Structure 1
Amino acid sequence: MQDSALARWLSPLMAFCFTFIIVAALASAVGIQIDRQLDFWLLWLATMVILALPICYLEIALAKRTKTTALNALSSLTRDADASQKWRIVGWLAVVFIPFLAGAILSHLGLAASVTLGLGISSQVMFVGLVIIAFALSFVPRQVLLILMMFGVVISFISSLVLAQPTASWHWTPIEFKEWGNATVLALVATGLGMGLYWQNSLQQVQDGRQASKTALPIWIAQFLAVIAFGFYSVQQNIPVLTLAIAGVMAAALLLQLAKEQLQQRQLSAVIQWAVLLIATLIWLIPQVQFEFNILLMLWGLLICLIYSIFAGWIMKISHLRKSMNFSNELFYNLWRIAIRIILPLSIILAMLAIIGQLLS
């Protein structure tokens, strides 16, 4: 009973911590300025409802159907749908993206920590040190990493309340096309959706055949609260970098652990597993490519969500996910299917165009 109760809270806890840390570490780097702009936050709220919530349900429904991790599950999913094996590429894109995201977190927090400490340590040396610690911690049990990560987030949040500076009042600004891209990245990429993390972490919970809502909604609510919690503060001024860096290392370690587990279940050799993890993480050591990698991070994360939405909405058979969803009302399933088939692909494509437009401007 206690194990069941603990498993029920692991995914929401992970969702809250991951979202808070990713936003805190990457928001300014990818051009998502957390400001008290009412129009932007209303836009973000819309993306959380029409984009993030359907993807969250999608991950849990696929977990319920396959009973295995994302990379391993795509083999059976493509066979069941009589689909081309080419669709399995989304699993590989996601599993390589996980250590790439871990490297991004460590790179940005390492740079901030090296400036804050003022010890004359270069950001690259700091980054390598954090990577070594993260890889070592990836062997620690998942529950321990989650507790430590939550501890770092809570300390950062409390410290930010104590050190909070006067902020600008809420205000309206003209809505720009680029804000749709930023809001979509905040709702999908910064929440860790599309990578199969919540799919992977909820496998024990979905065995009982309950409605998907009992698993998906707590995860989505935790993501929502994490962005709201961070939305009132500025990472440059109010959130202590050192405590956030500690939480970031724990998050990176957990990401590496989850990616390694997916590769192991795919029965790849240990050499290939470590090569994927190390290369995707340490690629952030390349100098003077941070801006380009930040753009790649956003586009890559959105592409994964786009492929999943097309595959689930148009390639998989209608009956495949209806039973996994187990909605109490057929209307809810139809609304979800419309979101997955039409709203999500179009919205993500527009967001990717908005990001590319910022790059070219």
Structure 2
Amino acid sequence: MQDTAMSRWLSPLMAFCLSFIIIVGLAPSLGLQIDRQLDFWLLWFATMLFLALPIIYLEIGLAKRAQTSALNALSKLTREADAHQRWRVVGWLAVIFIPFLAGGILLNTSNAVAQQNDFGIGSNILMGIAAFIAFGLSFLQRSVLVVLTAIATIASLVAAQVFGVQVNDWQLTPVEFKEWGSATILALVASGLGLGLYWQTNLNQEKQDAATPKTLPIWLAQLVAVAGFGYFAISAAIPAYIVLIATIFAVALLLQLGKEQLVHRGLAQAVQYILLLAPLLIWVFPAADLFLTPILMLWGLSICLIYAIFVGWIMKISHLRKALNFSNEAFYNIWRVAVRIVTPLAIVVAMISYLGQLLP
């Protein structure tokens, strides 16, 4: 468990690093390029404001309410809400999704390294080696992993600029419906929301503390991460190597966060390792990404959708009002409308949009 002083900088720094690395890892699957289309990035900012920000508040509020990590907390939260045990499945979906997401971004980064080099090792083999290295690193102290990930992430941004990134001028293009799915995935899945990552790093908050001082730095750090991605491209071998190193550290951090949830749930160590390594290593199989990538995107959105419905419609109104401790009742009402109505509808539309992109 992190102390209060450490959590002040740990969550925002972790948010910046993980968001940037996950976005870089998911970008090839989403077809995102540095085309600087103003309409798409305005759409993304809207999703960050109206979808991502309320969900960050949701995570921090649940952390304060439950005082334990997400997977373990669902038992308590469902009992308090007099809800059916089936709602607890979202905790399992989220904790298994963590290594599954880690495998996807690690494979895409390994593909980038393989494209920039010709050393005779396939990207799947490279990904498998990197996965086991990341698993070993996941036993390091949390703060050490965050610092190593931050150093490697910043180094990758610097290396990309040194070796040249061709950036086009901003252009305004017509807004297309299919862009909504990519923007929402970029804002929610690529920010790691709904997975309990920021939940875990804010467990030491006092219940009477306001949620905003913890929430806004995380949200702003994610904005900075995407801004950095706007000027980033793997255009040479050295940046590709550095990004792979940064991804290994980020994956180690993700695995550690997932493992901590399983430990809190009281699972045997062997079961923990199986639940972490199986979803991670499934990406090693040739051509697995062709059918795993759509599952990855829709799975991540589904987790956010279930949490929004559970918190907005199933939990008792008074529980999160006290946990969030907004300075103004109007802010709470706006947040509740966003979680109950705006977020679920927007995510469903995003799923339809993304499915539409998959059709020929």
TM over 0.5: yes
Question: Which AA in structure 1 matches 2:280?
Answer: T
1:108 maps to which residue?
Answer: 108
**Is residue 281 from structure 1 mapped to residue 261 from structure 2 by the alignment?**
no
Alpha-carbon distance change, 238 to 191 in structure 1, aligned in 2, over 3 angstroms: farther
Q: Which runs of 5+ in 2 are unaligned?
A: none
2:31 maps to which residue?
Answer: 31
> 1:46-195 to 2 correspondence within 5 Å?
46-195=46-195
CA contact (8 A) 2:165 2:231 kept: no
Q: Look up the SS of the partner of 2:266 in the other structure.
A: coil
1:312 maps to which residue?
Answer: 311
Q: Look up the SS of the partner of 1:44 in the other structure.
A: helix
**Superposed displacement of residue 105, structure 1:** 1.7
**Superposed displacement of residue 229, structure 1:** 1.3
2:15 maps to which residue?
Answer: 15
Q: Look up the SS of the partner of 1:28 in the other structure.
A: helix
Q: Which runs of 5+ in 1 are unaligned?
A: none
Q: For 1:45 and 1:334, locate their aligned partners in 2 and report how far apart those are by CA, in whole Å.
A: 22
CA contact (8 A) 2:34 2:168 kept: no
**What is the CA deviation profile of residues 28-64 of structure 1, one whole-angstrom value per residue up to 9, with x for unaligned ones?**
2232334210111110110000000000000000000
**Superposed displacement of residue 318, structure 1:** 0.6
**What is the CA deviation profile of residues 250-309 of structure 1, one whole-angstrom value per residue up to 9, with x for unaligned ones?**
000011111111011101112211111111111102221312211111100000000000
TM-score normalized by the length of structure 1: 0.96
2:327 maps to which residue?
Answer: 328
**Superposed displacement of residue 127, structure 1:** 1.1
**Superposed displacement of residue 139, structure 1:** 0.6
CA contact (8 A) 2:282 2:288 kept: no
**Cα RMSD for the two superposed structures:** 1.5
**Superposed displacement of residue 236, structure 1:** 4.8
**Superposed displacement of residue 232, structure 1:** 2.4
Q: For 1:187 and 1:130, locate their aligned partners in 2 and report how far apart those are by CA, in whole Å.
A: 26
**Superposed displacement of residue 125, structure 1:** 1.4
Alpha-carbon distance change, 239 to 336 in structure 1, aligned in 2, over 3 angstroms: farther
**What is the CA deviation profile of residues 95-131 of structure 1, one whole-angstrom value per residue up to 9, with x for unaligned ones?**
0000001111211112222332321111121111101
Alpha-carbon distance change, 66 to 56 in structure 1, aligned in 2, over 3 angstroms: same
Q: Look up the SS of the partner of 2:161 in the other structure.
A: helix
Q: Look up the SS of the partner of 1:29 in the other structure.
A: helix
Q: For 2:237 and 2:322, locate their aligned partners in 1 and report how far apart those are by CA, in whole Å.
A: 46
2:210 maps to which residue?
Answer: 211
Q: For 1:236 and 1:354, locate their aligned partners in 2 and report how far apart those are by CA, in whole Å.
A: 30
Q: For 2:61 and 2:127, locate their aligned partners in 1 and report how far apart those are by CA, in whole Å.
A: 37
Q: For 2:212 and 2:300, locate their aligned partners in 1 and report how far apart those are by CA, in whole Å.
A: 24
